Amino acid sequence: MQTQLRLDLTDLGYQAKVAGSGEEAQTLLIQERVAGVLLDLVLDEGEEAGFELLRWIRQNHPGLPVIVLSAAQVSSAAIRRAYELGASSYFVKGNAPMAHIYSDLAARLVEGGTGRAGHYRFGRLDFDPTSRTMTLDQRQIRLTSQQTALVVHLAQGSKAATAGDLIAAGLFRPNAARSTVHSALLTLRRKLDELEPDLGSKLLHSTAKGYSLGPIV
């Protein structure tokens, strides 16, 4: 099925990457910017490895769509566990037509196949890009259009995005300075601090590799 998925996704215009184990998948998600994941729960290391990978993805890439495929995990308990760990969708191989899987993938990838529409959950923090609101417990703030676009873009991919990536994505003017990008992200951090002290630095991470988002515990 792996070969069929790769060929079909390539024909549909996606750049499909394949990982044969949980470790390979983690390495791929760290090194490359991925828009979505089709996850077979039964990996080479055993069925539990699929759940552990799903848990890792949600902890490290909370906005990344994960569509779970499984031929073995068909019990209601397994399906419930997958959703509790953050699966976006769950399909039993052989029961669901491939067209349904691809349609579900397309529905979760927006803006040229680089992200997911709808609500995002970063641990305790809820983000609604439609209303441009961030909600933590009973407190809420409203972001600007650019701030909303920044959060959506960072939530969509697995790999940290550099200032150059954000400029290339059209979130800033083509000739914008890197310092302009950094200043905008610092402003976003300060806005998030209105919900809770230091929330901005907890959600928005800045490293030598670029900018990324993390869950709020």
What pLDDT is attached to residue 117?
46
Higher pLDDT among residues 132 and 42, named by residue: 132
**Whole-structure pTM value:** 0.56
Asked if residue 198 belongs to a domain, the reply is yes
Range of the domain at 135: 120-213
Indicate which CATH number applies to the domain containing 104: 3.40.50.2300
Per-residue pLDDT reduced to its tens digit, 70-100:
876 567 778 888 888 888 888 887 777 777 7
Asked if residue 178 belongs to a domain, the reply is yes
Asked if residue 140 belongs to a domain, the reply is yes
Per-residue pLDDT reduced to its tens digit, 160-188:
889 998 998 788 888 999 999 999 999 99
Q: Is the pLDDT of residue 19 over 80?
A: yes
- Mean pLDDT value across the chain: 83
Residue 104 and residue 31 share a domain? yes
> How many structural domains is the chain composed of?
2
Residue 142 and residue 95 share a domain? no
pLDDT bracket for residue 152 (50, 70, 90) = confident
Residue 172 and residue 79 share a domain? no
Indicate which CATH number applies to the domain containing 180: 1.10.10.10
Asked if residue 181 belongs to a domain, the reply is yes
DSSP per-residue letters across the chain: -HHHHHHHHHHTT------SSHHHHHHHHHHS--S-EEEESSBTTBTHHHHHHHHHHHHH-TT--EEEEESS--SHHHHHHHHHTT-SEEEEBTTB-HHHHHHHHHHH--TTTS---S-EEEBTEEEETTTTEEEETTEEEE--HHHHHHHHHHHH-SSPBPHHHHHHTTSS-TT--HHHHHHHHHHHHHHHTTTSTTHHHHHEEEETTEEEE--B-
What pLDDT is attached to residue 115?
39
